[in-house]
Amino acid sequence: MTVLKKLSVTNHNKSFKYSILIGDDFIDILEKNFSKTLKGKKIYVMYDEFFYKLKLIKTLIDNFKKLSTKFSSEIFFFKTKSKDKFKNFENLSNLLNYILSHKINRDSVIISVGGGVTGDLVGFASSIVLRGVKCIHIPTTLLSQVDSSVGGKTGINTKHGKNLVGAFNRPEGVLIDINFLKTLPERELFAGFAEVIKYSFIYDKKFFKYLENNTESIRKLKSPYIENTIFRSCQIKAKIVSIDEKEQGIRAILNFGHTFAHAFENLINYDDKKLIHGEAVAIGMVCAFKLSVYLNLCSKKEAERCIGLISKFNLPTKLKDIKNIKLVSKKLLDKFYLDKKVKNGKITFILSNGIGSALIKNDIKEKTLKIFLDELINE
């Protein structure tokens, strides 16, 4: 097996560098590209419950055990919960206690195998245990492959909001195995496309047209369309991260739609039966486009074209698509103020000024916002 696509993530002064490798056999990629990192080390594989549900756990463990034998490494396995509501202090503590009880040391390597929740939890744990040990991400969902595994952000949720406790922690590498996508439930797969589409909205009109013209082939995971889509998504995020690793400026545009999305998720207490993250982002992006039109930043025609693309990927686009949620503008505003982008008491929104371009807006008056939200809720 060969790596189908490869790109590097670095920063402007080249002080760090790691690879994102896209292929179709993650064990083979690990063996051929990370032998020096893994040889003779203690390896902690943190995998999510996804593997039990799909009865893939035996294959996963057997493959890692064979790899550890080749590398004369000691290997440990720990199952994590994959739902967003479990990305919390309790499960962080469980994970840390496990690896500490199995005598992790600073030469050890932690490997996350799972979706965004597992990657965020494990990435954060690796950043704080022994003040930092090496971590490799093997994302198994489309959303985690194109978004959460790229850029070094880690974190957990609290009752006050999403991802409010965390750290920037660069991995040793990210291994994307496209075969995992074929095992995903349809709802989970389509939710991942929300982040893919987002990159075209905020940064690349050409990519937007590619998604628009090849929607059906991409949705059906046809080659080379799905590989090209994942690669371009990672490439865009890597480029933005390289300019602004710690989100002091342009990186904030990656949060397009997320101020709304995080508020919705918080209001339903992260209940994925009602809404999963990609769906929340899809509806959040629609809200961001509508606010952009309301503020005369983006034309209604372009906004409707973008909302149309979201629909083509079978993603929700209306507030009423969120099950059993009671929306009141005052409550939404309160949740906006919990967002980690709030500075000097001002809510920050990422808005659109046309397809392929985004801007950071933090001067919208609360009165204006409330009027907009009242209209939005009553549509």
- CA gap 271, 160 in Å, rounded: 15
Task: Give yes or no: 153 in active site.
Answer: yes
Task: Please pick, among 251, 335, 340, 361, the residue that the annotation labels catalytic.
Answer: 251
Is 237 among the catalytic positions?
yes
Burial (CB count <10 Å: 0-12, 13-18, 19+), residue 283: buried
160 in catalytic set: no
3-state helix, strand, coil in the chain (%, to 5): 50, 20, 30
Has 247 been annotated as catalytic?
yes
Active site residue 195: yes
Catalytically annotated residue among 153, 232, 290, 340:
153
Strand segments, DSSP code E, in the chain are: 5-10, 17-23, 42-48, 74-80, 109-114, 134-139, 153-158, 161-168, 173-177, 349-352, 358-361
Catalytic residue among 170, 198, 232, 258: 258
d(CA 309, CA 306): 5
Q: Which residue has the tokens 């080379």?
A: 224
Closest listed residue to residue 83, CA positions, set 349, 234, 269, 241: 269
- Of the candidates 255, 265, 340, 341, the residue annotated as catalytic is 255
In angstroms, rounded to a whole number, what is the distance separating the alpha carbons of residues 272 and 282? 15
Annotated active-site residue in 172, 188, 227, 247: 247
Q: Which of 33, 163, 170, 195 is catalytic?
A: 195
Q: Which among 87, 162, 232, 277 is annotated as catalytic? A: 277
Which of 262, 274, 335, 340 is flagged as catalytic?
262
The answer to whether residue 219 is catalytic is: no
Give the contacts of 83 (CB within 8 A, at least 6 positions apart).
117, 270, 272
- The helix (H) or strand (E) run that includes residue 218 is helix 215-219
Q: Which of 55, 58, 131, 220 is catalytic?
A: 131
Told to judge if 262 belongs to the known catalytic residues of this protein, a careful annotator would answer yes
Q: Is 258 noted as a catalytic residue in this protein?
A: yes
Residue 177: left if φ>0, alpha if ψ -120 to 50, beta else—which one?
A: beta
Q: What is the spatial distance between Cα 271 and Cα 367, in angstroms, rounded to a whole number?
A: 30
**What is the chain's alpha carbon radius of gyration, rounded to the nearest angstrom?**
20
Q: Which of 237, 290, 340, 341 is catalytic?
A: 237
Q: Which two tokens stand for residue 155?
A: 């974190």
Which residues are designated catalytic?
Answer: 131, 153, 195, 237, 247, 251, 255, 258, 262, 277
